[in-house]
Amino acid sequence: MSVEIANESGVGVDEQSIVEAARFALGQLEVSPLAELSVLLVDLSVMSDMHEQWMDLPGPTDVMSFPMDELDTMRRPDATESGPSMLGDIVLCPEFARDQARKAGHALMDELHLLTVHGVLHLLGYDHAEPAEEREMFTLQKRILAELATARREARAQEAARAADSRLLGTVGLDE
């Protein structure tokens, strides 16, 4: 999956981690590996302008998703047909997300992962305007985030084990 990211927010974040979260969500949703996605990080001013322009709502927001208009529902990116498909764009505002993360009691990157998964779900047609839609979308979002957290913990544990093995093997090799 091609995930392009551009950070124009002025906030230093782990961009690769956001890309990994997007790829993980797309993989969990069995979206074609040929799918393409763009993620843009912007500041409060830009997000506020976009929120007003596209949603007719004042002030900034945390995440906006812009699905590709020409995406034919008969040829969804998770369809079995081959060929790349542009899903669309996700726009994140790290400054806005930072305040939400504080209120929620978790790290900024956890909030950005949540918003990335939320944006991916919107690009794939999920919504939360109605209670039943909200339940479906947020249940799926929660599951993907839990699986992402587990996968990240397992990857860190494997990396720590490899580092320990390398140190041990390096030490053993020197003693002989």
Spatial distance between the Cα atoms of 114 and 105, rounded to a whole number of angstroms = 13
Q: Does residue 153 fall inside a structural domain?
A: no
Q: According to the model, what pLDDT value does residue 57 have?
A: 95
Q: How confident is the model at residue 50 (pLDDT cuts 50, 70, 90)?
A: very high
Mean pLDDT calculated for residue range 23-50: 95
CATH of the domain at 91: 3.40.390.30
Residue 91 has a CB neighbour count (10 Å cut-off) of: 23
Closest CA to 24 of 131, 133, 150: 150
H helix count then E strand count, the chain = 5, 4
**Structural domain of residue 40, as residue ranges?**
2-127
Q: Does residue 163 fall inside a structural domain?
A: no
Residue 115 pLDDT exceeds 60:
yes
- Compute the mean pLDDT over every residue in the chain, rounded to the nearest whole number: 89
Q: Does residue 122 fall inside a structural domain?
A: yes
Q: Does residue 66 fall inside a structural domain?
A: yes
Q: Does residue 89 fall inside a structural domain?
A: yes
Residue 62 pLDDT exceeds 90:
yes
Spatial distance between the Cα atoms of 143 and 80, rounded to a whole number of angstroms = 24
Instruction: List C-alpha distances in Å: 110 to 4, 17, 59, 97, 148.
Output: 20, 10, 23, 10, 10
Task: State the burial class of residue 46 (Cβ atoms within 10 Å of its Cβ: 0-12, 13-18, 19+).
Answer: middle
Q: Does residue 148 fall inside a structural domain?
A: no
Closest CA to 15 of 145, 112, 118, 119: 112
